[in-house]
Structures are given as structure tokens and as C-alpha cells.
């Protein structure tokens, strides 16, 4: 097995790696580090959780150890799709460059421009940024990219999903064409392929896994769920989620729960907290300081459940995540690969569970087509408590049969004139009953009145089987007279 000591890395970098507890590189690191150290462009394709970050940070630190940064002109640039991933890359640089005198700056949203400008003005060796904030600094005249020697694009397919490709192309045009480019992605969409063909020069392609595959150490399953009623589907779906968590018991030490919409992230997190589960939300609309606190709590174990949008689907390195729950089936099949890649990291076993409602079955089919495997079905944990779908429940809930005289329209709708004419012609003139002080007739007297009325041939049209007693009596009195 290859050791890090065999990869021609800087001795100070090797010391930091040893202190971090690593001895052998992962396949993507073993394939990408040697050509990167030779100054070649690298195209790395590997599923999430395989150590892509170290595969570019380690050679960058080794190459940047020689030289000095100039004001406003960073020597290297790392582009990341999200703030969290950018912050994680910065942590990796701190870990592996602690014995090397290198400066870095982190340009992400949610932090004041003033603090970032001060770092850039001093000159930085490593600039880690999200595309939007980087262009903001450039357009304000605070940053020059003509000194970039090494440029890294991390999670390129996520950049595509988030609409950053035009920004990426512009940033490429602002850097020297002589730069070295390290380009990493978990999948290779046609648009990504076009960019690599345009901006990379004879890259060394390092592909350590079939595109869009999921880790073999991740057990997967899906619950096919249908709500009893449309207006109850959301709450019943949350109940299924809680049942799945409870069924895992102590095996579920912590978990990330993914939702497609930010509003659902907040609702699910609030619902879990209501039922006693230690949960907190994270999505793009939250303040950066709150997102950082939530992630820190999840990493140190003080928070058990992280309810997230796809902002947390990629790049977040929390090695000990035991479970991933897809509360919603992702709309893009590739996102499924990234979501479940949050568990089963660093060789550990993981479990990924998903809830699929009927309208998401097409997306589920797309996922199975992408990963080229059928995801095992799991029985609904609430099936025993859920009303059967064979019509029994509908019969139980069926209201008592209404009188045939009831109309489906409003009671204020007038009867057709033909019916009124027919009723009057058959019944004859009707006089209003005399006011009576006697108490109301009981059911037996009402029944006898109806029988007498039937025997006399009087018939009321349109009144149905149930004939009110006062009407029967009025016709009976009229006939007698």
C-alpha cells in the first residue's frame, strides 16, 4: 500500500499529516497528488467522501511553500459552491499547513467586506472563496487575479446546479492562461465536460469510481408512502420519519435529514423538537453565524439531528454521521448521491433511508437509473396504525344516507315550477293548521297520521320517505272536512 511519504510531499506537510493521524492516501489522493506536484492540470472524478479536499490542498501547500505573496494578488485560488464547504477547505489548510508559513483568506458571504479587504491588502498565498463574493471584491477593485499560479474548482457539478457556471467562466478569463488548474467533481455532466475541454490543458484524468455511484458500505432503503388524505399527507409523513428514527434506536447516533425546500426544513425541525428530538435546521436563508453554530454543534455531538437543505449535501465532512434520512426524494438524481455520501465516510458503515410519496416516484426511478441499482423497499412502519386502502376506511367514515328529498345544491335554490304545480294539483288546496296549545305529537301519533293519510289517497310529491307530522295532519284535517 502506498504511503504519503512516497508522494514527494514537503517534509513539513508530511509531519502535519502524521500528526493528523493519516498514513496512507485514498485512491483519489494517490492518483491526483503526483501529477499535481509535476505542475500538470488534473481532472479528478470521485464520489463524495473520498478525500478530494486533501488531494489538492497537500500538493498546493508543497508548491506554495516556496515564494511570497504580494498585496491584493493571491498566489492560488480555490473556488467552492457554498460557504460551509469553503470554510471546511480553509480548516484543511490550517491542519496541513501549520508547519509552513502560508497566509490564507476566506471570502464568503455573511462576513463584512472590511475584514476581508484587510486580509487581501496584506497579500495571501491561498484565497478560498465562493464565486459570488470573489467577483464582488474584484468589481470593487480590491482584488487582482493576475498572480494566480494554481486554481482549484471544487464540487464543479454543484456549481452547475447552483447556476455558477457563467461566474466560473468569467473567473477563468481573469486568471493567467499559464495557471495550473485542478478540477474536481463527483459527476461529469455535459456542461462540466465542456468547461474542462475549454479551460484545462491536457489534464491528467483521475477517476477512482464509476460516475454517480454510491458507497458500497451504505445500506439504502426507501419507504413508499401514501397519505390517508391530501391535507394530512405532510403531518403523516413527519410521523413516518419519527417512526423510522425510533426503529433504528441506538444505532442512529446522529443523522442528517434532507428536505427539498427551505420551508420544509424549518417545519420538520420544529416538529422534531416538539416531539422531543434534538434537532436544528440549516439552509441558505439563515444567518451565517447561526449556520456555523449549528454545524459546530452537530460536529461536536451536542446536536443529534441536522435538518438541512442541499446546502449541506456536499462537501461537509462529519466523519461519524450514522444515518441520512431523505424526507423528500431529491429532484435531481445526482443530489441523491451527494446526500447519502454524508454517511459511510472514511470507511465507516452508514445507512440511508428515504420516504417516497406517489408524486415523487418518477424522481425515484431517475435515481435508480443513475445508480444502476434498485433501492430496496422498506415496509411502512405505521402500516398497522394506518387505515387500510381497500375501501374499508371509506365505508367506516361514510356518512348516513341523506334523504332523497335533499338536493346537492343550496337549500335556498327554488323548486322548479312544474313540481310545485304537480304537488298542488294532486293534493288540492292546503290551509294552514290552526295554532294549537297542545304539546308536540310523539312518534306513534305521527306514524298513525301518516297511515291515515296514505289510506285516504293523499300524497305529497317531493317530500321523500320522511313526512313531517304537521303536514300529514294538515292534509288529514282537510280531507275530513
Q: Does the fold of domain 218-386 match that of domain 4-207?
A: yes
Residue that the C-alpha cell 459527476 belongs to = 187
> Of 41, 102, 55, 113, nearest to 75 (Cα)?
102
C-alpha cell at 15: 509531519
On the 0-12 / 13-18 / 19+ scale of CB atoms within 10 A, 337 is buried
The architecture (CATH level 2) of 218-386 comes to 3-Layer(aba) Sandwich (3.40)
What is the arrangement of strands in the sheet containing 104-107, beginning at the earlier edge strand?
A: 104-107, 126-129, 76-79, 150-153, 180-185, 42-45, 204-207
Region 143-150 average pLDDT: 94
**Alpha carbon 90 to chain centroid, angstroms:** 26
Average pLDDT of span 109-129: 88
Query: What was the pLDDT predicted at 105?
Result: 93
The confidence score (pLDDT) of residue 367 equals 93
Name the pLDDT band for 210 (thresholds 50, 70, 90). Answer: low
In this predicted structure, the answer to whether residue 136 has a pLDDT above a threshold of 90 is yes
From 334, 350, 274, 289, select the one nearest 87 (Cα to Cα).
Answer: 289
Is the pLDDT confidence value at 396 over 70? no
Q: Own/partner pairs for 15-18, CB < 8 Å, 24+ apart?
A: 15/99, 16/95, 16/96, 16/97, 16/98, 16/99, 17/58, 17/96
Average confidence score pLDDT of the chain:
81
- CA 408 to each of CA 76, 382, 412: distance values in angstroms, whole numbers, following the listed order: 74, 37, 11
Length of the chain: 481
DSSP state of 314: S
pLDDT for 158 = 81
The one-character DSSP state at 442 is -
Is 70 exceeded by the pLDDT of residue 131?
Answer: yes
**What confidence tens digit (pLDDT) does each residue in 256-284 have?**
999 999 999 999 999 999 999 999 999 87
C-alpha grid cell for residue 264?
A: 420544509
Looking at the predicted structure, is the pLDDT value of residue 59 above 60? yes
Q: Of 286, 284, 221, 210, which is closest to residue 247 (Cα–Cα)? A: 221
Q: Domains of the chain: which residue ranges?
A: 4-207, 218-386, 417-480
- CATH homologous superfamily for the domain 4-207: P-loop containing nucleotide triphosphate hydrolases (3.40.50.300)
Q: How far apart are CA 132 and CA 141, in angstroms?
A: 15
Amino acid at each position: 500500500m502506498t504511503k504519503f511519504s512516497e508522494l514527494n510531499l514537503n517534509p513539513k506537510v508530511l509531519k502535519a499529516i502524521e500528526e493528523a493521524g493519516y498514513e496512507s492516501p485514498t485512491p483519489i489522493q494517490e492518483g491526483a497528488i503526483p501529477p499535481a506536484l509535476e505542475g500538470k492540470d488534473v481532472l479528478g472524478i470521485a464520489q463524495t467522501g473520498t478525500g478530494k479536499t486533501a488531494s489538492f490542498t497537500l500538493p498546493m501547500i508543497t508548491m506554495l511553500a516556496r515564494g511570497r505573496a504580494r498585496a491584493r494578488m493571491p498566489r492560488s485560488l480555490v473556488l467552492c459552491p457554498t460557504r460551509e464547504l469553503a470554510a471546511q477547505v480553509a480548516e484543511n489548510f490550517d491542519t496541513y499547513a501549520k508547519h509552513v508559513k502560508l497566509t490564507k483568506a476566506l471570502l464568503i458571504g455573511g462576513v463584512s467586506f472590511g475584514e476581508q479587504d484587510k486580509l487581501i491588502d496584506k497579500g495571501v498565498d491561498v484565497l478560498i472563496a465562493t464565486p459570488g463574493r470573489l467577483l464582488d471584491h474584484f468589481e470593487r477593485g480590491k482584488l487582482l487575479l493576475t498572480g494566480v499560479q494554481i486554481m482549484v474548482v471544487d464540487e464543479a457539478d454543484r456549481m452547475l446546479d447552483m447556476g455558477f457556471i457563467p461566474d466560473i467562466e468569467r473567473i477563468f478569463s481573469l486568471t493567467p492562461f499559464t495557471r495550473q488548474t485542478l478540477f474536481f467533481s463527483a459527476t461529469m455532466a455535459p456542461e462540466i465536460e465542456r468547461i474542462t475541454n475549454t479551460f484545462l490543458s491536457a489534464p491528467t484524468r483521475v477517476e477512482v469510481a464509476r460516475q454517480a455511484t454510491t458507497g458500497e458500505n451504505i445500506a439504502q432503503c426507501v419507504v413508499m408512502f401514501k397519505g390517508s388524505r391530501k391535507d394530512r399527507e405532510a403531518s403523516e409523513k413527519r410521523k413516518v420519519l419519527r417512526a423510522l428514527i425510533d426503529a433504528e434506536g441506538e444505532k442512529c447516533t446522529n443523522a442528517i435529514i434532507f428536505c427539498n425546500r427551505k420551508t420544509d426544513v424549518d417545519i420538520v425541525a420544529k416538529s422534531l423538537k416538539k416531539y422531543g428530538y434534538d434537532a436544528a435546521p440549516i439552509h441558505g436563508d439563515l444567518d451565517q453565524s447561526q449556520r456555523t453554530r449549528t454545524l459546530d454543534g452537530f460536529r461536536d455531538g451536542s446536536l443529534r439531528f441536522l435538518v438541512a437543505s442541499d446546502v449541506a449535501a456536499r462537501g461537509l465532512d462529519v466523519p461519524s454521521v450514522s444515518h441520512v434520512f431523505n424526507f423528500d426524494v431529491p429532484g435531481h438524481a445526482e443530489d441523491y448521491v451527494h446526500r447519502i455520501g454524508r454517511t459511510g465516510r472514511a470507511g465507516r458503515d452508514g445507512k440511508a433511508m428515504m420516504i417516497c410519496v406517489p408524486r415523487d416516484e418518477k424522481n425515484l426511478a431517475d435515481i435508480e437509473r443513475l445508480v444502476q441499482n434498485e433501492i430496496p423497499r422498506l415496509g411502512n412502519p405505521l402500516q398497522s396504525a394506518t387505515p387500510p386502502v381497500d375501501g374499508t376506511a371509506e365505508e367506516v367514515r361514510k356518512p348516513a344516507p341523506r334523504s332523497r328529498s335533499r338536493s346537492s345544491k343550496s337549500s335556498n335554490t327554488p323548486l322548479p315550477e312544474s313540481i310545485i304545480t304537480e304537488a298542488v294539483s294532486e293534493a288540492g288546496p292546503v290551509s294552514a293548521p290552526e295554532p294549537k296549545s297542545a304539546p308536540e305529537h310523539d312518534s306513534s301519533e305521527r306514524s298513525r297520521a301518516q297511515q291515515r293519510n296514505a289510506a285516504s289517497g293523499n300524497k305529497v310529491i317531493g317530500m321523500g320517505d320522511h313526512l313531517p307530522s304537521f303536514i300529514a295532519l294538515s292534509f288529514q284535517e282537510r280531507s275530513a272536512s
